[in-house]
Structure 1
């Protein structure tokens, strides 16, 4: 299982927030002007002052867009996200240069995410890197399928939604791990996983049991 290897930049630059949209209860999509290039899948550090450590977030926008967008959910016990969620256009944030080795490509792959872990895959999708890809997204509730209409229209059967606590037509009734456990065919290609550590380890072990080689599993852990 591969992980982030590129050294994180230390310097943060001030940016003006352009937008802050609550796209689902407790989940926000913020945006600010892009003045650097990035590879879809990379992350940035974000802070609101110089006294507290910044946090790491995946970029959630295409590499051709004029803005960088960040998707995050409010953590009630967190320091940054409750404050960041209350920011309005015109407020200042601190952002690092993009970095990281969880990088998208045009090669066939399965992309497996839970919750806001869909962010780097949406960046890859928006950047034109989703041909021959299958996206498997697991959530607890139906309103957590972020960007659902767009992804469903573009990907069709290659967009698999798994929901563990609510049901709907065309949605697998259960967790991502159960969906994967029921599959019998796993092509020889890359498998990208993005989500919380427990989920990443569980899916990594499941893929290995299914015959996927360790070298073909690429992971990004969300904290």
Structure 2
């Protein structure tokens, strides 16, 4: 796996406890939407049992001139150090790797199911599909606690306006009175409301291990063949 040293060039708060980190893109670096990379801190001032390396889905589109990742800021030493890293600091970046990528037959729709920060690989897929006007129908079910927790909600809404084959179905567990979208968790009832032919698409799930396992079981109970279901989860989510 290729290993690079890349500089942090920007940091942006994009939702509650959610930070986007932008790095220089190495010359000639290529990847497929949905792949991930390992980020290793160099001589961090503190560490813990979790170590100095984490893996992150690549948030960027392959067409972007920079590399971005996104994470929820939690209590680990890794997250604290990353969040306080001065701009211009270097990290080690190993990748790309992973097979959580869209199927090649664009006549087959893709149903993307994201919980919280599990949006990251799908954001790359959707941006690339929108940029290239791909012919594959994409449905994104995106669950969050509230609008304030929903990273890239505005950008995804814009993508839906700009790409007729992309449908965003966002749902909030505890929405405020201004929210006019779906309410509650992503369930079989919600999926059936928007997917008329359940057997046609391939399904992709990304989020916490509990969320991924629950929805994988839900899809199987709905009669979806297991080979049509792809999953990605991140321990320590």
- What is the Cα deviation at residue 181 of structure 1? 6.4
Alignment of 1:200-215 (within 5 A): 200-215=212-227
- 1:25 corresponds in structure 2 to 16
Q: How does 1:153-172 map to 2 (within 5 A)?
A: 153-155=158-160, 158-167=167-176, 168-172=178-182
Deviation at 1:50, TM superposition (A): 6.2
SS at match of 2:95: coil
- TM-superposed CA distance for 1:94, in Å, is 1.3
Measured against aligned partners, the alpha-carbon deviations of 1:31-85 in whole angstroms (never above 9, x if no partner) come to 1122210000000001112684411100001001111110101112x22112111
Residue of structure 1 in register with 2:73 after alignment = 74
Q: CA deviation at 1:171?
A: 1.7
1:55 matched residue in structure 2? 54
Q: Contact 2:35 / 2:98 at 8 angstroms: preserved in 1?
A: yes
- Relative contact order, higher structure (CA 8 A, sep 6+): 1
Match of 2:83 in 1: 85
C-alpha separation between the residues in 2 aligned to 1:17 and 1:199? 31
Given that 1:172 and 1:179 are in contact with CA atoms closer than 8 Å, whether structure 2 keeps it comes out as no
Change (3 A) 1:172 1:12: same
Count residues with an aligned counterpart: 213
The one of 134, 139, 154 aligned to 1:149: 154
Moved more, 189-198 or 146-155: 146-155
CA shift at 1:144, angstroms?
A: 2.0
Residues 179 and 94 of structure 1: is their aligned pair in 2 closer, same or farther, counting only changes over 3 Å? farther
Q: How does 1:63-212 map to 2 (within 5 A)?
A: 63-76=62-75, 78-105=76-103, 106=106, 107-128=108-129, 131-155=136-160, 158-167=167-176, 168-177=178-187, 179-180=189-190, 183=193, 185=196, 186-212=198-224
Q: TM-score, normalised by structure 1?
A: 0.87
Structure-2 residue corresponding to 1:220: 232
Any unmatched runs of 5+ in structure 1? 1-8
**What are structure 2's unaligned runs of at least 5 residues?**
45-50
What is the TM-score of this pair, normalised by structure 2?
A: 0.82
CA distance in structure 2 between the aligned counterparts of 1:194 and 1:42, rounded to whole angstroms? 12
Alignment check: 8 A CA contact 1:162 1:179 kept: no
Distance in 2 separating the partners of 1:90 and 1:28: 17
Q: Are 2:18 and 2:151, in contact at CA under 8 Å, matched by a contact in 1?
A: no
